[in-house]
Structure 1
Amino acid sequence: MLTTRGAVARLSRRAASSAKKTNAFFSTAALSQRVPSQSSSSRQSSSRPQRASPVAARSYATEAKQVVGSVKTVIGAVVDVQFDTENLPPILNALEVQDFHGGRLVLEVASHLGENSVRTIAMDGTEGLVRGQKVVDTGAPILVPVGTGTLGRIMNVIGEPIDERGPIKGVKLSPIHADPPPFVEQSTTAEVLETGIKVVDLLAPYARGGKIGLFGGAGVGKTVLIQELINNVAKAHGGFSIFCGVGERTREGNDLYHEMIETGVINLEGDSKVALVFGQMNEPPGARARVALTGLTIAEYFRDEEGQDVLLFIDNIFRFTQAGSEVSALLGRIPSAVGYQPTLSTDMGGMQERITTTKKGSITSVQAVYVPADDLTDPAPATTFAHLDATTVLSRGIAELGIYPAVDPLDSKSRMLDPRIVGREHYDVATAVQKILQDYKSLQDIIAILGMDELSEEDKLTVERARKIQRFMSQPFQVAQVFTGYEGKLVSLKDTVRSFKEILSGAHDSLPESAFYMSGTIEDVKAKAEQLAKEMGN
């Protein structure tokens, strides 16, 4: 027994020694293969130095030596690629098809299949792609241009310009997949981002670095509101804006671009305030699932490298989820509730958590939200709501009254409307405005049936002030100046709170209702009232 135990002990020691040598050998070999040389690290130098993305944190086997494979299977947007080596490209790496007649075709690695093959999702149409075509691993995820050179330009999901104005010059390249900023870099203070739009700043203020859901049907002014926000953030904060068209109509993207040129948001000859990234509804699901990340990467550069307050518009966030669902089905994953991808919360959280405020700058996101069949319990909008700090609801009823922006003051909400954040005065004025508007709404049925004469004196006063407040919530936009003829007004939060407080107190009960329409501050109302009085006198 002792002999046997001694033999076992000797064998164990030999096995342990052998395992150490083997591990040391493979660790050295792996390091020599996976760590790129200085000459081949040009791609890594383009990524942001401040925080490591998943791609920067791990090294790539393909950076040391370019790996070439060939197309094995093509099923729509799903392309399987076979390699001769076991050194496969990691998940999320970008592969490029060589000599593809349709231009540059980028494939993103989605899974490893075994037998030295990977399954990828195409970022463009695969019409004309054939088996055996050569595919090269780029050694990194999809890299897109970032920097001021992107402003005024339209790009696709892989950062190529699609506005027929030549290549984008003087830019760096950054990977579209990144980690959220570490907790130590994030700002912990809740700050309000002033938009200069009275009804938004008073009743549903935006959080600096927050996420805002924008709800509204066709023709109620979503586009004009977006353009005014882009314009005001550029003027008030010196910040830039990024617009992501995710799975929406190509015509709308084209119209938006030309409207931005007309209103001066995009200057073809000089400095522009916005960059546009489009992955419209005719694009494959891979492009629609990644285009929001492309826009977010451009926004992160302005926040992290230039310390800007950036506005990121996503139209429509539901299409991001929808595209992810299509990709998941194509990859053969088992669907979860209502047919959505099992990774719905992870996909949404991975993007939304990157939209935040750091000590250097912020990304504030305004996301148009489509609610399928008006069902708020649908997993797609329900997952989105979990991340929103505020909701801005545009109402057709208010638009029909000619009040623009047609923001519904009773349906729009914000977690920033808290006395500890905005201050007691702002909070009290906002809640008083909401109360008087709610009282007016409840009196409208009585007015419609019996008329104003049947109301008590107190109710009559409530109706008069509520109608003045309702009209005072209208505001002439600078980007709509060419259409309305009214000079655009950017109103500070201080002036907004003071003006509404004076109306509530009855200080301006003597002024005519029409003077409150399309005015900036209460001083503008007084000036308009004097002008109306002169015209009446004449």
Structure 2
Amino acid sequence: MDIKAEELSALIKKQIKYYQNDDQVHDIGTVIETGDGIAQIYGLNQVMLGELVEFFDGTMGLVQSLQEDRVGVVILGSQLSIVEGDEVRRTGEIMEVPVGDELIGRVVNSLGQPIDGRGPIKTQKTRPIEAPAPGVMDRKSIHEPLQTGIKAIDSLVPIGRGQRELIIGDRQTGKTTVAVDTILNQKDQDMICIYIAIGQKDSTVRSTVETFRHHGASDYTIVVNAGASAPAPMQYLAPYAGIAMGEEFMYNGKHVLVVYDDLSKQAAAYRELSLLLKRPPGREAYPGDVFYLHSRLLERAAKLNDELGGGSLTAIPFVETQAGDISAYIPTNVISITDGQIFLQSDLFYAGVRPAINPGLSVSRVGGSAQTKAMKKVAGTLRLDLASYRELESFAQFGSDLDRATLNKLNRGERTVEVLKQGLHQPIRMEKQVMIIYALIHGFLDEIPVEDITRFETEFYNYLDGAYPELLVQISETKELAEPKKMEEAIKSFSKQFVVSA
């Protein structure tokens, strides 16, 4: 075939112009050791801390340790197929999880993958699990209350939208119940909830999910589960995955509540990883950076300013104490990071005071800023009344001859404790809380026997719904106390028809 030189030249130039080089340069390493969910890699000299790497079989890993001659990688998946000599490739990416409205109502693992058996989740966006916290100028002072529906919290230790309030106490003192009731109370409150279960039994998490479904809370709740059977890397990553999902809503001007249940388990998982990566342990055998582990997580909770949309992310972390010791290492760390703590005392719990909140050791550093004006007015003296009652209660055990003023204080204190008790999964709206506390502090319950207080309260709420609905609506909408005459009229008219048990 006769081809002219000009044609051949034009053909070569065309080939050069449209030439595509498919060769790609990869930074490749080799597995030199594997076990306990950790792989030691040789050869990834340029890899970054927190970067994702890909093993030969497609399993992903997270770089968590950089040493002179090796890199420690946490395996995010099964390690059974990863053996010594396998190739490992850098991805140049950091770990991200899927985010968006599509996750609401679902149960996912620490990687954002569905584990509720309801099919795949088709999300459009992802967010990195590690992100800088909003700066000081990006924030706004906390001024909106987050209504928990729990009288003892809303009146004594109020929580605001954008706050970080620690719930602390021994195991089996009702910590999870407080969080679940708070989530149930967010129905119709324009709030998206994220419940992160770390190191819990799968049966317990399933029961919690069923509670959400039964009460209609799954319509606005995402559950992130890293159960007791999940490997340590998944338990370590779960809180970061959960808050990344929450940040997507916050930066879009929405309000989010994130519950970490609990960070003691995350700290233990991180300690396990650190020891396997041969990092030296620090105080009480925890790594020296365990404070940073929790601070970089909790600092991401914020109330954003109006320029950024005014969204908020409220964090409620749990920490488990041993024999009520709130001065131990992890509790001290998290107390210093958060804006207050709610201490659940086992003695109170076993005495039938539930929620078992110790008002002396519980505090909210946001305080009255996170309360409606109505609640602030009626709950002003409640903490002092309770504190003086506890003091007199122990004093009165040793003396029978008490003066009238002391007896009145003891009498009021007993009724205060009884009013602040609350049943399981029975959150109460703010306006009803205000009415019963108003009745308490103005002496309308002083003549009601202590054993009848709970029944009085239940029947009182039903009476208000039927006879004085406009009173409840007024308090709810204005966030102010109604006219005292009107409130007292409602309380007196019910008290007249209330039948005291024989």
- Please give the TM-score of this superposition, normalised by the length of structure 1: 0.74
Q: Deviations over 1:380-423 (max 9, x none)?
A: 221111112122223444445545433333332211235x7759
Q: Deviations over 1:157-199 (max 9, x none)?
A: 2111122221112342111111112333211345443323222
For the pair 1:370 / 2:320, whether they are aligned, the reply is yes
SS in 1 for 2:499: helix
Note the 1:15-414 alignment, pairs <5 A: 69-82=29-42, 88-99=46-57, 105-113=59-67, 118-236=71-189, 238-266=190-218, 272-305=219-252, 307-359=253-305, 360-372=310-322, 374-400=324-350, 402-414=352-364
Q: Which of the numbers 413, 421, 430 marks the counterpart of 1:491?
A: 430
Stretch deviating more after TM superposition (358-367 or 514-523) = 514-523
Stretch deviating more after TM superposition (276-285 or 295-304) = 276-285
Contact 1:475–1:489 (Cα < 8 Å) also in 2: no
Alignment-mate amino acid for residue 490 of structure 1: R
- Structure-2 separation of matches of 1:445 and 1:379: 31
Extract unaligned runs of 5+ from structure 2.
1-23, 465-490
- Structure-2 separation of matches of 1:189 and 1:371: 28
Contact 1:511–1:526 (Cα < 8 Å) also in 2: no
- Structure-1 separation of matches of 2:333 and 2:344: 21
SS in 1 for 2:94: coil
- Tell me the residue number matched to 2:15: none
Query: Structure 1 residues 394 and 112 mapped into 2: Cα distance closer, same or farther (>3 Å)?
Result: closer
Alignment-mate amino acid for residue 472 of structure 1: V
- Structure-1 separation of matches of 2:393 and 2:377: 24
Shift of 1:209: 1.2
Query: Structure 1 residues 343 and 395 mapped into 2: Cα distance closer, same or farther (>3 Å)?
Result: closer
For the pair 1:437 / 2:437, whether they are aligned, the reply is no
- Please give the TM-score of this superposition, normalised by the length of structure 2: 0.78
- Structure-2 separation of matches of 1:320 and 1:534: 50
- Structure-2 separation of matches of 1:164 and 1:133: 33
- Tell me the residue number matched to 2:440: 503
- Structure-2 separation of matches of 1:475 and 1:378: 30
Shift of 1:140: 1.5
Query: Structure 1 residues 354 and 421 mapped into 2: Cα distance closer, same or farther (>3 Å)?
Result: closer
Contact 1:476–1:489 (Cα < 8 Å) also in 2: no
- Structure-1 separation of matches of 2:289 and 2:199: 20
- Tell me the residue number matched to 2:487: none
SS in 1 for 2:92: coil
Contact 1:197–1:491 (Cα < 8 Å) also in 2: no
Alignment-mate amino acid for residue 200 of structure 2: E
- Tell me the residue number matched to 2:21: none
- Structure-1 separation of matches of 2:216 and 2:420: 25
Q: Which of the numbers 404, 409, 414 marks the counterpart of 1:467?
A: 414
Contact 2:191–2:255 (Cα < 8 Å) also in 1: yes
- Structure-2 separation of matches of 1:382 and 1:469: 30
For the pair 1:457 / 2:410, whether they are aligned, the reply is no
Q: Deviations over 1:273-324 (max 9, x none)?
A: 211112233333322221110111111111112x222111111112222222
Shift of 1:202: 1.2
- Tell me the residue number matched to 2:12: none
Extract unaligned runs of 5+ from structure 1.
1-63, 267-271, 481-487
Shift of 1:503: 2.7
- Structure-1 separation of matches of 2:430 and 2:374: 17
SS in 2 for 1:121: strand
SS in 1 for 2:268: helix
Query: Structure 1 residues 397 and 346 mapped into 2: Cα distance closer, same or farther (>3 Å)?
Result: closer
- Tell me the residue number matched to 1:18: none
Query: Structure 1 residues 438 and 341 mapped into 2: Cα distance closer, same or farther (>3 Å)?
Result: same
- Structure-2 separation of matches of 1:164 and 1:394: 35
Stretch deviating more after TM superposition (460-469 or 421-430) = 421-430
**CA RMSD across the alignment:** 3.2
Contact 2:154–2:371 (Cα < 8 Å) also in 1: no
SS in 1 for 2:180: helix
Shift of 1:424: 9.3
Shift of 1:447: 5.2
- Structure-1 separation of matches of 2:255 and 2:356: 26
Alignment-mate amino acid for residue 442 of structure 2: S
- Structure-2 separation of matches of 1:138 and 1:276: 29
Alignment-mate amino acid for residue 96 of structure 1: E
Shift of 1:144: 1.0
Q: Deviations over 1:73-98 (max 9, x none)?
A: 21422212345x86x33221112334
Stretch deviating more after TM superposition (223-232 or 375-384) = 375-384
Contact 2:239–2:260 (Cα < 8 Å) also in 1: yes
Q: Deviations over 1:130-162 (max 9, x none)?
A: 123343434322221111211222222211112
Shift of 1:255: 2.5
Contact 2:97–2:126 (Cα < 8 Å) also in 1: yes
Percent identity over the alignment is 23
- Structure-2 separation of matches of 1:342 and 1:393: 26
